Amino acid sequence: MIEREEMPYDVVVIGGGPAGLATAIRLKQVDPELQVCVLEKGSEIGAHILSGATIDPKALDELLPTWREDGCPLAETPVTDNWHWHLTKKGKFALPHVIQPRFMSNHGNYTGSLGNLCRWLAEQAEALEIEIFPGFPAAEILYDEAGAVIGVQTGDMGVDREGNPKGDFQPGMNLLGKYTVFCEGARGHLTKRLKSKYQLEANCEPQIYGIGIKEIWDIPADKHVPGRVIHTQGWPMSENDAWGGGFLYHQANHQVALGFVTALDYKNPYIYPFEEFQRWKQHPEIRAILEGGKRVAYGARAINEGGWQSVPQLAFPGGVLAGCSAGFVNVPRIKGTHTAMKSGMLAAEAIAAAIKAGREQDTLQEYDDAVRSSWIAKELKLVQNAEPMVAKWGGELGTILAGADMWLRTLFGFGLARPMKHHRDSEATQRADLYKPIAYPKPDGVISFDRLTSVSYSFTNHEEDQPVHLKVADMELQKASELGVFAGPSTRYCPAGVYEWLTDEVTGEPKYQINAQNCVHCKTCDIKDPNQNITWVTPEGGGGPNYPNM
């Protein structure tokens, strides 16, 4: 048995993203005497944060009303210009704003780095004497004898690839709290366990996801329009019976943030989200903006796309889910920061009231009730059929039906259909023999790039002599099914080149190679593997991407 240090707090927050930091700040606003800590697996706050991002400031206005005057970097670039393009292979046509519900407008929103917003929020949190521990991933959940969550254990450091302590071994600590708030982001590895243990998804649809792949470019000043926001749909996904869309945001300092989201419910195992993004950049309208510029950063992250019908039970003995751990992304708006922050604020208010009443480690049903009666619920119910309609009827017809459903819900309170069902993304992939491989164009090294070169722009780093944090439960199943039936989709859906099927030099048999040091923590493998045979767990503290301003 390893002897571990114990650190008691009133509240332990898992994740230093917008939801976790909003939770911590609101706790101290309500009761400055509360002892609060935030655990963050990245090397610093913001290191693992990736989003477009165009942000609705609604929750930020509630949390810190003077943020625009207080040096928040998000205030630099309000949205000034908003376009939505439907792309064909060579051209485009703009979708007029008049056909979209008013809430789809970006008027009053801001575009910038979510990572830098989190860094600024962390400064506000530290000013309130909140303890923030970057580089300390929550590896295990701690329970009492009754089965209630009492805190978490941080990961051990200094363990070799076989799991043996090295000379610099440091055991993880037990952080104990009256309540624990899980704000791990999309597909959190502890959240997965909590959903299973407490059956939190018993009365909701399964969560579904997209994979968002992003770059930041410096572009010439004469092409830069600060605050211009562009979203696209149609080509190239329209060629492969799949759906997704692109974004390009003109942010501060002559930079554009651009990326492509591929819905992970695609059927064709030969679809390659990274290459779809590279193709999209070669569209004449996108290439014209990038030519003469220089790529400076790259990254990827899974995105919740299930909407309101996929929100699970949010409270359980000793803890709650908030932010993207629960799944509050508004898919048509491509926004989730404001809803994530608001959920954290509601969690904080419920927790502070419970602790004041002398309670601890019970189920905060009042938090769940508060979310379901808040503007989070009102907003997400308006768009709850948008994603499933596009998924079912395709990009063109599905978009028309989704628009009609949103208008009806906005004007009359009902839609074209009742809340539609989802199917897990892993179940959507079909046999490879039903499809032909897709011939993607080679990168030109100017606009489009290869995957491994791209990973170097994520500044990812893992200690190589540590246990592989991507766990394959049954390697024979992986060989027989993932490779034999589905033609190895992990070699394509991973945006970091983690997975390779090689030939063993001795036996001549297929060999599954896992390049864990490349992992950017997007969680796509944990979501899309057709057999759910891969599980993502936390690597050693501080490992992973080091995004500068994503």
Residues recognised as catalytic: 51, 301, 337, 494, 519, 522, 525
* Cα of 29 vs its chain's centroid, Å: 27
CB-count burial class (<10 Å; 0-12, 13-18, 19+) for 103:
middle
Assess contact for 262 and 114: CB atoms under 8 A. no
For residue 410, give both structure tokens.
């906005």
For residue 73, give both structure tokens.
């970097």
Q: What one-character-per-residue DSSP string does 258-294 give?
A: EEEEEETT---TT--HHHHHHHHHTSHHHHHHHTT-E
Stretch (H or E) spanning 453: helix 451-456
C-alpha to C-alpha distance for 480 and 499, rounded to whole angstroms: 16
Closest CA to 392 of 401, 379, 383, 384: 401
Q: What one-character-per-residue DSSP string does 59-94 give?
A: HHHHH-TTGGGTT-GGGG-B--EEEEEEE-SS-EEE
For residue 125, give both structure tokens.
């949190």
For residue 258, give both structure tokens.
């651009």
C-alpha to C-alpha distance for 91 and 490, rounded to whole angstroms: 32
Assess contact for 213 and 277: CB atoms under 8 A. yes
For residue 245, give both structure tokens.
């869309």
User: Residue 506: CB partners within 8 Å, gap ≥ 6?
Assistant: none
C-alpha to C-alpha distance for 538 and 516, rounded to whole angstroms: 11
